[in-house]
Structure 1
Amino acid sequence: MGKAKVRKGMPSVALTKAEFVERFRARFFDPVFAENAKEIEALLPQAWTSYHDYHKSPRTRKAGKGFADPAYDLSVDWLAAHQSIRAAERQHRDKALPSRILIINGSMRSDQTCPGEMSKSWRLTQMARRIVEAQRGFEAEVLDLSRLASEYGRVIYPCKACVSTAMPLCHWPCSCYPNHAIGQVNDWMNEIYPLWVRAHGIMIVTPVNWYHVPAGLKAMMDRLVCADGGNPDPTSTHGKDAEAAKALELKGWPYPRHLAGRVFSVIVHGDASGTENLRRNLSDWLTDMGLIPAGTKALLDRYVGYYRDYATSHDDLDQDRDFQAEVRNAAEALIAAVTLKRKGKLGQVDAGLKNPRPK
């Protein structure tokens, strides 16, 4: 196959200096900053330089041994995330360490912000957590995605779809962020990637929001694309060189499955519609990445207070003892599957087959 063309032609998003200054000042709208107006104005020249000269990764060091180009300057942010993932991989493989279950609360509702009340998903994650922690040799970690809507500076930035340009351009872990030039910092994914890598089992608990997952959960899912075929060596594409990435893919890309072999459970709840489709979509997404379902009892879609008032939804959950028992069963099923997997008794029957159309 010949050389692939890199397509260009979208309008520029560059700000004028006046536009940049206006947006910079808007960050200090609160009157509490008024007494520091001079100091804020004094930062404008440096802030403009960082933006205008595109200081995406202002601090770098040489990649060193183990990379295709040891002399390439890699972001210290990316290198730190890379090292965290490698440490998590070692923990995952260490049979002397406890089995670890990552329980993900997908709801954005929290009593720490506008809704003023905890979510049912949070309650269900705690039910599952208690089952896991009561099991000898197991540990539970809870990833509460509602913090995206309630905690200062907590953010998951959107996926830029580098993979659609060429798979090797999608680095593992993601190298798109942080982008200091345009203020895209504090990306949570650098902490989330090691949680997934370290885990032996994953449980996702989520409500249905307009027939789909909540925005925070979807953001995390999109950013996990690099875990499925992502390139662990950014020096091989000279950073974000689209032409180099296309050439590398066309030579034949191995599509490494960085999370394959972990087992999973999915619990979806709703009040009117969409639970079955969402449970199926999440299961398909996880199996596409090479994860293994922990059995039929670990995959739930249920309605709580079907077409009843939102105001009494927690009361409806209190009364639904069967659903509560099913959630505990899902946790038990996940524990059993992880136990078998770590003993080498639960495998992927199709693991040895070559995929004729990897993607």
Structure 2
Amino acid sequence: MGKPSGSDVPSTATEPRKGTPSPRLEEAEFRRRFLTRFQDPAFEALQEELNKIASAAWDAYEQERKAPRTQKAGAAFKDPDYDLSIDWLAARSDIQDAQKRHDDPDAPARILLISGSSRSEHTCPGEMSKTYRLVKIAKETIDDMTGMATTVLELNRLASEYGRSIHPCKACFSTSPALCHWPCSCYPNYSLGQVHDWMNEIYPMWVEAHGVMIITPVNWYQVSSPVKLMMDRLVCADGGNSDPTSTKGKNAALAKALELEGWSYPRHLAGRVFSVVVHGDAAGVENVRRSLSDWLSDMQLQAAGPLAEIDRYIGYWKPYGSSHEELDADEAVQDEIRNAARTLAQAVSAKRAGKRSSPGSDLTQPRDK
């Protein structure tokens, strides 16, 4: 696959590089941070109980019990006796079920619509986003078509809903793709309080989908922060390792050695069809649209067609306070969203019927990464 042979790799290549400062906390600072979340006066009568809970949390932190509940991996894995997190096994099972729904020829075509703005009326901004309105137009358009089922992923819930988090990618892939597990095994990490990770619910949404439409605003010349968090955590879908026992969990040296022996870079989302819509008010729409399309193409998803990739300004250099009125008046962009949705749905239908080819999909790439 274009990778160096064993004789070309230095003997020290599999030895992980170390040297960054330790982030470990002393007990007093840990307890202070842990208890900070209980500032409401309603907790004042529970201080004794909270101190006991803080002591238990400190013990989990000190002992680094990332995944305290495990079970034997079983015959489906390279090392059947390895203790795998029950959370990871549940996420894997959900993905497998989603793949079955994707592969069922008698099931409706599934379209995932992603609303990428972090704004909603349910938190500080006090107003819905234009992004959500565009998603609603796309959904109504696709729902009117026969044999289509839509799912809406509202990423604004990261900011407005209790217990919703997408934790940042830890860049395991940059150490070795074999260390980046599919689905991600970095979370939950109970010892660090890194829980409520939404990605274990988002992965199956992507897997079951035949088509994906991402609609996002431009935030400082980039996608919104919720979209970027999701993008980074989907790296495991593009070459990630579906067997954590092959690396004994997060053993970097084993992962490096496994990669350097020859890695297949499995594309777990390959073949799905995509549409991208980017809107802004002053700058950046074309670059953001292009970067999203490039990212999806790199994961071997297929563009639905030119009408399904849109970058537009709504209320160009107009006041933010009247931006919804600008969208009301911009009937052309509303129709463009409808056309993008129809194009995506038509491309999905053609692909499922075997009428849409993927030129080059049977060719082996000389370099995967």
TM-score by length of 1: 0.99
1:109-120 aligned within 5 A: 109-120=119-130
Correspondence for 1:317: 327
1:63-74 aligned within 5 A: 63-74=73-84
Distance 1:222 1:71 in 2: 31
Correspondence for 2:266: 256
CA deviation profile, 1:195-245 (whole Å, cap 9, x unmatched): 000000000000000000010110000000000000000000000000000
Matched, 1:166 2:176: yes
Matched, 1:60 2:60: no
| Equivalent residue in structure 1 for 2:37, among 22, 27, 30 | 27
1:1-359 aligned within 5 A: 1=6, 2=9, 3=11, 4=13, 5-359=15-369
Distance 1:245 1:41 in 2: 40
Report deviation, 1:44. 2.3
**SS of structure 1 residue aligned to 2:114:** strand
- Residue identity in the other structure for 2:67: S
CA deviation profile, 1:289-316 (whole Å, cap 9, x unmatched): 0000000000000000000000000000
Q: CA RMSD in A?
A: 0.7
**SS of structure 1 residue aligned to 2:283:** coil
Distance 1:352 1:270 in 2: 38
- Residue identity in the other structure for 2:306: T
Distance 1:334 1:44 in 2: 51
Tell me, which stretches of 5 or more residues in structure 2 are unaligned? 1-5
Distance 2:329 2:212 in 1: 27
Distance 1:256 1:271 in 2: 38
Q: Which has the higher contact order (CA 8 A, sep 6+)?
A: 2
Tell me, which stretches of 5 or more residues in structure 1 are unaligned? none
Report deviation, 1:46. 1.1
CA deviation profile, 1:27-49 (whole Å, cap 9, x unmatched): 11111110111111122221111
Distance 1:308 1:25 in 2: 45
- Residue identity in the other structure for 1:107: S
- Residue identity in the other structure for 1:311: G
CA deviation profile, 1:253-310 (whole Å, cap 9, x unmatched): 0000000000000000000010000000000000000000000000000000000000
**SS of structure 2 residue aligned to 1:18:** helix
Distance 1:327 1:43 in 2: 51
**SS of structure 1 residue aligned to 2:65:** coil
Distance 1:253 1:57 in 2: 27
- Residue identity in the other structure for 1:97: A
| Greater displacement, 35-44 / 184-193 | 35-44
- Residue identity in the other structure for 1:185: V
**SS of structure 2 residue aligned to 1:54:** coil
- Residue identity in the other structure for 1:327: I
**SS of structure 1 residue aligned to 2:128:** coil
Q: How many equivalent residue pairs? A: 359
Q: Which runs of 4+ in 1 moved over 3 A?
A: none
Distance 1:209 1:8 in 2: 35
Report deviation, 1:147. 0.2
- Residue identity in the other structure for 2:313: Y
| Greater displacement, 338-347 / 154-163 | 338-347
Distance 2:155 2:54 in 1: 34
**SS of structure 2 residue aligned to 1:269:** strand
Correspondence for 2:3: none
- Residue identity in the other structure for 2:70: T
Distance 1:347 1:103 in 2: 24
Distance 2:273 2:261 in 1: 32
Distance 2:269 2:140 in 1: 25
